[in-house]
Each structure stands twice: as structure tokens, then as C-alpha cells.
Structure 1
Amino acid sequence: MSKNNKITIFLFGIIFIPILTFAQVNFNKTPDDDLGDVEDQFQEAFYEALKQKGIENYDRAVESLLKCIELDASIPVLYFELGKCYNKIKNFGSAEDAFKKAVSKDPDNEWFLDELYGFYVSQNEYEKAVKTVKQLVEYHPDYKEDLASLYLRMKKYDDALNILDELDEEHGISITRDMMRNRIYELTGKKKDQIKNLEKRVDDNPEKESNYLALIYRYSENNQKEKAFETAKELLKIKPNSKLVHLALYKFYLDDNDAEKAIESMKIVVKSSEIKPEAKLKVLTDFVAFVSKNPQYETDLVEATALVEGTNNSKTLTELGQYYLAKNNKEKALENFEAALKLEPNNFGVLKNVMLLYLDLKKFNLANEASSKALDNYPSQPLLYLINGVSFNELNQPQKAIDALEIGLDYIIDDVKMESDFYNQLSKAYTLLNNTAKAKTFSDKAKQLQNTN
């Protein structure tokens, strides 16, 4: 049993164990001999220990507990509290001795054993921790999972798997145990054993969808695509209304060149309320790639895109933008790039696409505003100065265009095409200013670069 699950009970034990244990000492008895003096001294030392421990003065608490032990060494909880105080002041050897003493005096006390177990784990004393946790299993079978975890840390993988098998047999499958099991398979490379375990689960419980899905995933991971595909189809026969299976099926159908079934599976995925948005968007990304090569299915893509409208995934929106750009649907491309930029405002690639589309679509005010703002964040990006200069020229503000373009020229490194574009825009700006001489100078520079390229 993990400590978190026992915290309430444990606190109850801390509060009441001392009271119950010390019941053998009558604190209210009127002293009539030397025994009474001893009881008074014990009581005083004990409460002083509690007080010092409460204010985290563990050295003083140790002193008081040792005084209690001098007066009466038979009380197990004194050693238990002493061990905790020693642990706090990092006197680990004395802490272990004190905990062991407590256990030896009260070997059936679960709290003492649990504290000793926790101490050994904190000290990476796994062999000793195993010995202690095996005693704890007698009180709470849940400690068996701790034992499996210890074996994992000790790289005793077969022992850990045996424990996990026993627990699965006794209590059914658990997510935490499966995580541990998968970690062991990953560390040992025993993929065949992992698949055998999942195949057995499917055989033992053929109605459970999650068993099939896990097996499909592991088959795919192990490059056993045919087996994965067959398992997915088997699940669909058993559970024809399963939505999750289509997360695997659409891929297999695509690989099998069965476009109609692949599209049907993709649509089921994006419509399903059971499937997480991230998974839907991954499917949609694959859908975009598929339609790029098979444009006859664009209507299906548009339908699927509408179904996931409003989902927040910059990567998918960017890929949709690229798709529409390739189709020369610049308005639709810009719509997706702008949506992606809202989600990821520092993505320079998306920002660049947005600004270039503003220029292509003659949205010069937007291009000017976006490039001016972007220059505050990226003052050494020559492309931004070029976009800024172009937009100023188109807005008939040639002097501002010249100012931007001249600054940007200083940031160009080994890019003849861009340098030529700068000169052409400078030529245009000077033409707008009726300075034909400078306009020709820059036009000639641009031509010279184009000829040498």
C-alpha cells in the first residue's frame, strides 16, 4: 500500500499510539515513592520530546527521548519516534538502529515496519527494503505492488513481472501496473513477451476494447502491420460501434490503398466525442497529406475540416494553410495561417506566410502593420524590412520605404535574390519621389545582380 493511501490512518496512529502505549505509565498517580518520581521524570521528558519535535528542534527531541529510554527502555514507540528524529538530523545509522529496535520490540506493528521500509527506500537500501516490505505484505496485500517496484529498481525484472502477473491475476488489470510492466519490457527489449501478454488478455477477455487497442498499438510498434490490421478488423466485428478502432484503421486502409474506407474512418474519428482533440487533429493532418496527393477527395477534406473547426492546434492549421497555398487558394490559406498565428504568435515561419499573403492579396495596410510590429521582435530579419518597404511603397509612402529598405540591406548575408528585391523596391521608391537618377542607379544594381546570378 502506498503511503499516500494510508496518510490519514497513519496520522491517527501517530496521535494515538503514544497515548495507548503510555497507558502503562499512570501520569495521574500521586507519587508516594521513588516510582512516582520516575513517572514524573518520564512524563516531563516525554512531553518535552513532543514539544521539541513539534518546533523541529530534533536534537533536543533526541535528548529527551533518550532520557525517556533511560527511565523505561521497554516502550517500543520511543524508539520509533527516536528513529524519525535521527532521520531528520541525517544521523542515518542511528535512525536505522532505532527503527529496528522499535520493530524488534513490537514486530507486528505495521506503522513501525512501514517507517523502516520508507527509510530503506530513501537510503537506496533496496535489499533491506524488500525484506521489510515482504513483512508488510502480510498486513496489506497492496504492498505487493511496492515489492514489484523495488524489483524494478533493482533490475530484477523477471521477479517484478512475476509479482505483476500475480497481482493482475488476483485484482485484474491496473493502469499503474501496466505502466510498470511496459517500462520493464522497454528496458529488457522483451517485445515478444509483451505481445504474448496482450494476446492472452484478448483471449481471456474478448469483449474488452482496451485489450485490442493495446495489442494493435504494440503490433504496429513492432512492425507487425498485418497482425495489427487483422486485430483492428476483429475488434470492429466484435464492437461495430467502436470509434477508437478507427484511429488505427484509417492508417491501415491508406496503406492498403483503400481510399473510400480510409476516408470513412477519418470522418468517424473527427465526428467522435470519445476521441481527444489532439488525436483528431493528427488524423486531420494525415487527411491533408492524403488529399494533397489525391485532390479528387478535397470535398471530403473540407467536410472533415468543418467538423473539427474551432479546435486549437497550430501545427494542423499550418498544414491546412500550406495545403490551400499549394492549391492557390490564398484566402483560405491566409485564414488558416492567421488562426495558427493566434495560437502561436512567436512562430516566425507562420508570421512570414501571413505577411507575404497580405502582400499577394493586396492587404497592404495589414502587411505594413504586421511587419512594423514584427521588427520590434526581430530587428535583424531582412525579410521584414523588405515586406515593410514594399507595403510603404504600395501605400505611396516612398520615403518611409527607403528608410526601411536601407536599414534592411545591412542585414542581408549571401542572398543575391533578396538583395536584388531590395534594389528594385528602392528604385520604385525613388521613382515615386521623381528622383529618376537614383531610381536608375538601384534598378541597374538589381539587374546586375540578376545577371550574375
Structure 2
Amino acid sequence: MKQKIYLFIFTIGMLIFPEVNYAQVDFNKLPNDDLGNNDDEFQELFYEALKQKSIENFDRAAENFQKCIALNKAVPVLYFELGKSYFKLKNYNAAEDALKKAVDLEPDNEWFLDELYGFYAGQNDLDNAIKTVKQLVSYHPDYKEDLASLYVKTKKYDEALQLLDELDTKFGVSIARDRLRNIAYEATGRKKDQIENLESRVENNPDKESNYLALIFRYSENNNKEKAFETAKELLKTNPNSQLVHLALYKFYLDENNTDKAIESMKIVVQSTQIKPEAKVKVLSDFVNFVKQNPQYEADLLEATAMVSQEDNEKSLLEMGQYYLSKNDKPKALEYFEKALAQDSNNFAVLKNILLLQIDLQDYKQVEEKSTDALEKYPSQPLLYLINGVALNNLNQPKKAIDTLEIGLDYIIDDVKMEADFYSQLSKAYTLLNNTDKAKTFSDKAQQLKN
């Protein structure tokens, strides 16, 4: 809704200000109409109503506005203010009646209409909102955009698209209107019309990057990769400095096995200040999968990762960690996960990966130290107690292992496998202490859970 311009009345004199046209009551002259000697009373009541409204005493405000109306039923602003007071009191039927009365008395008052429109929109009374906003479109073009939005909400898509076309022709395209347009196209299945609209934008404004990008996206969405690729190359020809186009070109080049071009585009993407971190990570993730099948390009992957800015680097480091993990290169995976944790020390998932890798690599001293520190930060995470117990057992410190494992058992909730692992480690600890009875007891418990 167009930002409302609220009507402030500081003096009763404003009621007779020519531009507002409230000339029915003139407090600057002696009474000469059917009000008799009520001018002073009316003025006092009106001021009191405004005062009560200003301190949010809407009951009293409404009461005084009603008294004013009893003295003079022909002043539109009284109904306007009464309607707003009733709305604050959640007396919606009375609010609607009062606002409609204000509009009836002064049908060309934009502020009255806008308030009534806002009332209907707030009550989700879309039919009446449409009826009211149609009266407002002559005041400001923003109301036409409101009307288009209401048409979309009421599934009057043809009317919505017609209005959007008018607005785009007059004012140029906008993101907000495009959202409405895309909803209408999607709901009606008019993908051909949607693409034709974008094609005409490119033709009419060939220097605007966003038109090409939107068209590339829609072609791709409709599985017309050839057209999408052609449009992307056309954009690059028109705008050689475009960075965003490489988000599309990168993938197209990979699909046609033009690896050198794909790598070139990827490097532009990861260094771009215009492209969001999530998109960069997606590109790196795609290239990680490509390098798994084509390991001869691993050096290019490492170079691209090194190009990523500090802000985006954590996610790219995680991608590299997962890449080396998939290759079963655990030392290299650990290296990248540790770098990622250094950038975000609160990432528990990365910490877990590091500890599990260190166990696999039998670096039990590091596991014990890191998991002990982690328990101070995450004292209710049972996995950390288990990892700590594993490390202590392997460092031949079974008594400490038993202490930490028994504490960790209390934090397990509905995880039978983990509980069995705890019992297995307790059995191992008691075996190290030569307590065969307890070792067997915990071994049996673990076996029962596994079965």
C-alpha cells in the first residue's frame, strides 16, 4: 500500500482550510445556522477527542467524536477519526461504517479512501479492497500496483497481467512487479508468454544485464539449454565485464566439455564481489564433483578455492574437506576441516568431523585434548563423552575413561546404537583394569542392544 500521509489537525481552523475543504463548520464567526450556541461545545468536544486519541484512550475519543457528530452530522473528518478509533478498539463493523460514511460525504478525499482501503486489506476483505483501490488509482500509480497485487491474490490473473504491462510500459520493469508477474504466469501455465515478455525486454533494452539473466533462467527452467547458452553468450558479447553471466556459462561450458572455458568462468565466479557466497559454494561443489571424475583438474580446484574471499572461505573449505573425505584422503580432509573450524569455532558439525578423523588417524592425544576442551563448551553432548572415552582407553587411562563414559550415558536420549558404543567402551575400560566381571556385564549389555 502506498505509504499513508496522515491527516494531522492541530487547530479547528484546519477544518475550514480550503485545500481540505472542511468548510461546513466555521468557528471564527458567530453562529448563524442550526447549531445555535453549540460552537464552543463542539470545539471543546473535538479538542478533547483528539487529546484522548493522542494518549490512546480510544473509548473516550470515540465517545467525544460521536458527541461532535450529534451536534453536526455533516463534517466528514469526524467519521474518519471515529472510524480509526473504532478500529483501534477492534470494533471492526463500526469502524467500517464510520469510514464509509466519511467517504460518502467526501468521495474524492484520497486519505479517507486510503484509510478505508487499508481497513479492507487488513481484514482480508479483498473484494471491497479492490472496489476501494479502484477509486484511488487516479491519485497515484502505486495504487495500480496494489490493484495488480489484489488481482493476483484473487486469482484474476488476466487483469493483473494487463495492469502490470501498463505499469512496465510507463515506468519500466521492477522486481516487485516481476514477482507478481511470475506468480500469474506460474498459476496460469503461460510459460510461453513469460518467455516472450523477457525476449521483448532483451530486444528493447539490450544493454540491461538483468533482462538477459532472467531470460537465461527461464530458458533453463524450461529445459531449453541451447537457447539459454545462446543468450548467455550474447550477454557476454554485449557486456564483456558481466560477472553474473558466468554462473550460467560455467555450467554450460562443463556440459559441452569445454573445460578450459568452464574453469575460466569458475574463477571469475569465486572472485566476484557481486555473487553471493551460496552461489559460489554451489559452483565449487559442482566442480568438486567434476574433479572426482577428472582428477587431472585438481590443481585448478585448489587454485579456485584459494581465490575465495575470507568471507566466503569457510564454506569452500568445507567443500574441500568433503572432497578429500570422498577420496578417503583423511589427512588432507582433516587439514581443511581444521581450517574451517578456525574460521568458525562454534561449528559443532565440523568439530565432530575433526574428532572422528583424528580417531581414524589414531591421534588419540589430540582427540583427548580437543574433546576435553569441547566438553566445557558442549557439556550435554553425549558424542563428545564417547569420543573422549575412546581416546582415554587408547591412551591406557581406563579409570578416566569410565568416569567420562558414565557421565555421558546420562545424556543419551533414544539412541540405541550410541548407547551400545558406550557399553562397549566401558567393557574395554574394565578389561584394561582386569575387572573381567564388569567387562563382561557391559559387553553383554552392548550385545543385547546390537541384537
Q: 2 CA distance for matches of 1:148 and 1:12?
A: 30
Confirm or deny: 8 A CA contact 2:24 2:75 kept in the other structure: no
5 Å-filtered alignment, 1:149-228, equals 149-228=149-228
Task: Indicate yes or no: 2:308 matched with 1:296.
Answer: no
SS of the residue corresponding to residue 3 of structure 1 reads: coil
Q: Is the 8 A contact 1:291 1:301 kept in 2?
A: yes
For the structure 1 residues 36 and 330, does the alpha-carbon distance in structure 2 shift closer, same or farther, using more than 3 Å as the test?
Answer: same
Q: Offset of 1:275 from its aligned partner?
A: 1.9
**Structure 1 residues 23 and 416 mapped into 2: Cα distance closer, same or farther (>3 Å)?**
closer
Structure 2: how far apart are the matches of 1:423 and 1:133? 73
Report the Cα distance in structure 2 between the residues aligned to 1:345 and 1:323, rounded to whole angstroms: 22
Gaps of 5+ in 1: none
Distance 1:29 1:102, change over 3 A: same
Following the alignment from structure 1 to structure 2, what is the Cα–Cα distance between the partners of residues 134 and 367? 70
Q: Which residue of 1 aligns with 2:346?
A: 345
**By percentage of residues, which structure has more helix?**
1
Give distance in 2, aligned partners of 1:247 and 1:312: 16
Give the match's secondary structure for 2:38.
helix
Q: Which residue of 2 aligns with 1:110?
A: 110
Task: Report SS of the residue matched to 2:244.
Answer: coil
Instruction: Determine the C-alpha separation between the residues in 2 that align with 1:81 and 1:417.
Output: 71
Separation in structure 1 between the aligned mates of residue 420 and residue 320 of structure 2, nearest angstrom: 28
Q: Percent identity?
A: 62
User: Contact 1:103–1:109 (CA<8 Å) still a contact in 2?
Assistant: yes
Distance 1:375 1:120 in 2: 56
RMSD: 3.6
Q: What letter matches 2:332 in structure 1?
A: K
Q: How many residues align?
A: 435
Residue number in structure 1 paired with 2:123: 123
Structure 1 CA distance, aligned partners of 2:43 and 2:404? 85
Question: What's the CA shift for 1:354?
Answer: 0.4
What is the distance in 1 between the residues matched to 2:40 and 2:72? 12
TM-score, normalised via structure 1 length: 0.83
1:160, distance to aligned residue in structure 2 (A): 0.6
Offset at residue 399 of structure 1 (A): 3.2
> Letter of the aligned partner of 1:63 in structure 2?
E
Q: Which moved more, 1:186-195 or 1:244-253?
A: 186-195
Report which stretch shifted further, 222-231 or 409-418: 409-418
Partner of 1:307: 307
Where does residue 370 of structure 1 map in the other structure?
370
Matched letter for residue 279 of structure 2: A
Residue 74 of structure 1: CA displacement? Answer: 2.2
TM-score by length of 2: 0.83
Given that residues 58 and 89 in structure 1 are in contact (C-alpha distance below 8 angstroms), is that contact kept between their aligned partners in structure 2?
A: yes
Instruction: Give a deviation string over 1:171-196, Cα, whole Å, max 9, x none.
Output: 10011111111122233333222222
SS at match of 1:56: coil
8 Å contact 2:7–2:111 — kept in the other structure? Answer: no
Describe the SS at the equivalent of 1:37. Answer: coil
Shift in CA distance, 174/115, structure 1 to aligned 2, threshold 3 Å: same
**Mapping for residues 123-142 of structure 1, pairs under 5 Å:** 123-142=123-142
Moved more, 396-405 or 10-19: 10-19
Q: Counterparts of 2:345 and 2:158 in 1: how far apart (Å)?
A: 47
- Name the aligned partner's letter for residue 171 of structure 2: H
Contact 2:365 2:395 in 1 (8 A): yes
**Structure 1 partner of 2:287:** 287
**In structure 2, how many angstroms separate the alpha carbons of the residues matched to 1:45 and 1:184?**
51
Task: Name the stretch that deviates more: 165-174 or 75-84.
Answer: 75-84
